Amino acid sequence: MGQEQKKVCKERSHTAQGDTWDLTMLYPDFDAFDRHLTQVANAGTAPRWPAVQNKGESLADPLVVKNLFDAMFSLESSLDKLYTYAHLRHDEDVADDRAKKAFASALSLMHAFREEIAWIDPALLQLPKETLDALLDADELQKYRVFLRKIFRLKPYTLDAPLEKILALAGRALDTGQKAFGSLNNADLRFASCRDSKGEVYELTHGSYHVYMRGKDRTLRKESFLHLHQAFAEHQNTLCELLQGQVQRHVFIQKARGFSSCLEAALYPYEVDVAVYKMLLAATRNKLSLLHDYIAYRKQWLKVEELHVYDLAVSVVEDVTMNFSYEEAVEGIIASVAPLGQEYQDILRKGLTEERWVDRYENKRKRSGAYSSGCYGSPPYILMNYQGTLQDIMTLTHEAGHSMHSYFSRKHQTYQDSQYPIFLAEVASTFHEELLFQYLLRKVETNQEKAYLINQKIDAVRNTFFRQVLFAEFEWKIHEWVEEDKPLTPASLQELYMQLNKEYFGDALTLDPELAHEWSRIPHFYYNFYVYQYATGISAAHVLAKKVLSGDSYARDSYQEFLSSGGSLDPLSTLRRAGVDMAESQVIDLLLADFQDLVSQLTSLVKK
């Protein structure tokens, strides 16, 4: 008590402008945003947007459909711009009142827009097959051919217009669980301060937690782990109901549309077969012994009687730390992507420095974590909470990979085809991580530094692959429970989560009771079967990076085409063109074989 705390966050107003993203590329200020919002909202008229209303014209006429789509996508791009600015400003300080109102207004408009266009897909799908085929071949609609194909594919699961409107109207209410979790997690939740082995006091935040967990001081790691999860445990009943509400949302959509399961309802619209999901889980289960072996080695290397979860992130290599200023991180990232060519490097350098794509550092009430965002015509903005660790430079290059994927997709595709499928979202990001790891590995000078990097890479695979597959299995199971009318309770969620951790990590890891509450702090469980794509993404990226790093110019060009493809093809076909078949378990097996090889290398280096 009374001792000066470490790692105290600044207020947003104390952050240097050069360390923040430049949102003036969207709007100069909130006043300009408000003017555009008022213009787009078309207040006082009913309907809001007559150009996308059902005027009784025949959608069998290609020109009618073209005019409708032109108006719809023009409006949607304006709404995307409004939403992007509002959510970025909101994430700067989630308690800022003006940003909260702007975000709520933009989100409300998005929902209203979905309600007003809900009639279009059912109206199209009521047309005879020969008419739909004629629309696909019509000259007037060639720029919308991909978009139309995706609509027609959903015909078995599209309801008639009145029911689609009801589903659209329900959207706002069904967002409550995710929004409430976000507010609790990012703004309202408070963590007790932590002490290290010397009794010094440290402020605990989402951002600092990951730094402490990688630190050498075991007392600080343990206190950070306990205090963070105890804070979530205090709200276990609320958090259980929020998650249950989100799963109920998915069940509602699944049943309303007639899908056989929530898993199918989540994957089918993105043209991913449930067999890919199941293959991932089965292939991982078959190789869990590799993770068990590593956990046992880690316990041995750290020389601890019991290995706890708070011992999983600290390096097993003593007397080596790697810290990077933001500027050093940028230089390393730019150098690492040299195999992709000078143009790629130049674009990325300008974005990370001159054009201020990145909001760099943590401030009070800033959204936790990291992401890449933006809209068509805007820079691909990056939110960071940069602390200077090796993990932070890896996170920065991860998000830069997302941003470059978005940059090239938006540059080479039309608005309606520019959004790459969610299944592909984690490929470019983990590809960037692999390039940076290989670059840093070439730069180190001692066996200790090499061992340190390999250790970090092994743990990156543990986190991005094994842990995400565990999450995917947890998510699938709780959806099955709700589909079977089994209620979710804090006790059942805790029991399932602990059982999965025991199976995945093996007997060498001691599971603290607080780990049972970890499920309640994972925001991705509100994203509807998203986490498995981290595992498929890192697997695909691993194969692609090996090909590009081999100096194969065809592989490099194919990867550039992958980045530029947007949503112009289904995701599995897009990856096959780049040289990876994610329907086959060999892609998973290759990653895990290299994981095993890295563990062997580290074992040899530790002995030395």
For residue 335, how many other CB atoms are within 10 A of its CB? 15
HSE-CB at 14 with a 13 A cutoff on CA atoms is: 7
Q: What is the pLDDT of residue 6?
A: 45
Q: What is the pLDDT of residue 175?
A: 87
CATH superfamily of this structure's domain 17-174: Oligopeptidase f, N-terminal domain (1.20.140.70)
Q: What is the pLDDT of residue 44?
A: 61
3-state secondary structure (DSSP) of residue 535: helix
Burial 555-577 (b: 16+ CB within 10 A, else e): bbebbbebbbbbbbbbbbebbee
| Contact present, 246 and 526 (Cβ < 8 Å) | yes
Q: What is the pLDDT of residue 382?
A: 98
Q: What is the pLDDT of residue 3?
A: 36
pTM: 0.86
Q: What is the pLDDT of residue 9?
A: 76
The beta-carbon contacts of 436-444 under 8 Å, at least 24 apart in sequence, are: 436/332, 436/333, 436/336, 436/393, 436/394, 436/397, 437/394, 438/336, 438/545, 438/549, 439/332, 439/335, 439/336, 440/322, 440/332, 440/336
Instruction: Name the residues annotated as catalytic.
Output: 399
Supply the angle between the helices 326-336 and 342-352 in degrees, to the nearest 10: 160
Q: Which positions of the chain have pLDDT values less than 70?
A: 1-8, 44-46
Distance of alpha carbon 474 from alpha carbon 495, whole angstroms = 11
Distance of alpha carbon 12 from alpha carbon 5, whole angstroms = 19
Cβ burial of 426 (10 Å; 0-12, 13-18, 19+) is: buried
Task: Give which of 335, 334, 332, 341 is closest to 555, Cα–Cα.
Answer: 341
Q: What is the pLDDT of residue 1?
A: 28
HSE-CB at 312 with a 13 A cutoff on CA atoms is: 23
For residue 5, how many other CB atoms are within 10 A of its CB? 12
Q: How far is CA 190 from CA 231, 232, 539, 604, in A?
A: 7, 9, 36, 43
Distance of alpha carbon 267 from alpha carbon 139, whole angstroms = 31
Task: Give which of 225, 191, 92, 221 is closest to 516, Cα–Cα.
Answer: 225
Give one word for 356, left, alpha or beta, with left for phi > 0 and alpha for psi -120 to 50: left
AA identity, residue 200:
E
CB proximity list for 398: less than 8 A, separation 6 or greater: 370, 429, 430, 432, 433
CB proximity list for 570: less than 8 A, separation 6 or greater: 271, 421
AA identity, residue 239:
L
3-state secondary structure (DSSP) of residue 481: helix
CB proximity list for 13: less than 8 A, separation 6 or greater: none
